[in-house]
A = this chain, B = another copy of it.
Amino acid sequence: MLGTLREEKVFKDPVHKYVHVTSPVIWALINTREFQRLRRIRQLGTSFYTFHGAEHSRFSHSLGVYEVARRIIAQFERNRYPGWPREEGLLALAAALLHDLGHGPFSHSVESVFNVSHEDWTCRIIEGDTEVGRILAAVDPAFPRKVAQVIAKTYPETVVVNLISGQMDADRMDYLLRDAYFTGVNYGAFDLERILRVIRPHGGHIVVKESGMHAVEHYLMSRYQMYWQVYFHPVTRSSEIILRKIFQRAKELFAAGYRFAFLLDPLPKLFRGELAVEDFLRIDEPLMQTVMMRWTEEADPVLADLSARFVYRRLFKYTAVAGPDDPAVERMRERLAKRGLDPDYYTEVDYPTDKFYDMYKPGHPGTKSPILLLTEKGDVVEISEKSLVVSSISAGSQQQGTHYLYYPEEMTEEAV
């Protein structure tokens, strides 16, 4: 199964033009049930309610990450850079392809309610008794574990880890370009070929030639634009809030013994926290959408109303507030309570920072590995020491956010 396919396979891809597959292992992985399931999970969750083009799947993103990794590795090999371990090529490609395998439907919203983690599920699928697991084990019995380690960032060959998940990795490079393409927010695009020309494997890191600093600045500014224009868009946040509240309500009702008029297996196991791998793999976005569509007719008025809001896109409105303690928040909660609405389900103060730790914050313990510049003398320095633009984005990202109060506008009489 090692070696190369008799004839290269290609996928037509709007972002990278073609995705090229020559390894039979990669080809077999793509054709597994578990990988095909990613077609039924959107890359950007509920963002399609803000940007109607954003229906693209994690399947397409995963192929894209694989392709970016393949091009980076090809560039490293063509230039015979000493820092790249050639024997790790297949491992790196497999990890790139499979890194999102454990994403469930609308994962950012759902994970927080059920305390699950897509990284864990990814590793369980890879090391489990699955089609993917069997293909990997056929390469070498230790191979599934290695792939899981790369994804879990515990693999000792750190350059492989950093290729897949660093501050400027194949994952981010694909999703920025892809999300920009499908939303139509073209200011999120950056020049991938320019980046490929300036990166090098070096001391276990993927570093950037100092002369390529402006290319990295451009990449980071593209990321900055995507965060503010797309990922933190308040309409998307509104739909995520509603989705989260739907599942909070359903979980609460289930715990209280409520008899659902409609419920599909394996959701009870999800509510009880007892999902096995084979259960997990049956949950996808069509199932969740079908369930919520039916819940619009549930007897519980909160579940029914919130589900209808989501399905028919009757989202919460939002207004800027000073913070969670702004008196306007309490006033809104009281107004809703007077109308018989539970304020915990009908309001939320949101401040989009959860993804911000991805942005570079030097010295912060939770931060991802920094972007490093390789000077002409061969030294390595962290980019924010050289680039005022990067250091200011890092420093300033925290303070630019706005607290928004989300609420059901048509259920309130007066303006806030």
With a cutoff of 8 Å between Cβ atoms, the chain B residues found around residue A31 in the complex are 313
**A293–B194 Cα gap in the complex (Å)?**
36
Q: Do A193 and B17 touch across chains, with their CB atoms under 8 A apart?
A: yes
- Whether A191 and B186, one on each chain, are in contact in the complex, defined by CB atoms closer than 8 angstroms, is yes
A56 close to B53 (CB less than 8 A)? yes
Q: Does A71 contact B (CB under 8 A)?
A: no
Interface size range of chain A in the complex:
35 or more
Would you call A18 and B389 a contact (CB within 8 A)?
Answer: no
8 Å CB contact of A55 from B55, B197, B218, B399 = B55
**A250 near B: Cβ within 8 Å?**
no
Whether A14 pairs with B60 at a CB distance below 8 angstroms is no
Determine the chain B residues whose CB is within 8 A of the CB of A53 once the complex forms.
12-14, 56, 60, 182
Asked if A184 and B388 sit within 8 Å, CB to CB, the answer is no
A393: chain B residues within 8 A (beta carbon): 388-389, 392
Q: Is the CB of A39 within 8 A of B33?
A: no
Interface window among A88-96, A159-167, A280-288, A344-352: A280-288
Residue-wise, chain A 383-411 has the 8 Å CB interface mask toward B (1 for contact) of: 00000110111011001100000000000
Closest Cβ–Cβ distance, residue A124 to chain B (whole Å): 20
Chain B residues near A399 (CB-CB < 8 A): 388
B-side contacts of A11, CB under 8 Å? 52
16 intermolecular pairs with C-beta atoms under 8 Å apart: A12-B51, A12-B53, A14-B182, A14-B183, A18-B193, A36-B313, A39-B52, A39-B313, A55-B57, A187-B191, A187-B194, A264-B290, A282-B293, A286-B290, A388-B392, A392-B393
Q: Across chains A and B, which 7 residue pairs bring their CB atoms closest together, nearest first?
A: A388-B396, A392-B392, A14-B184, A286-B286, A286-B289, A55-B55, A52-B60
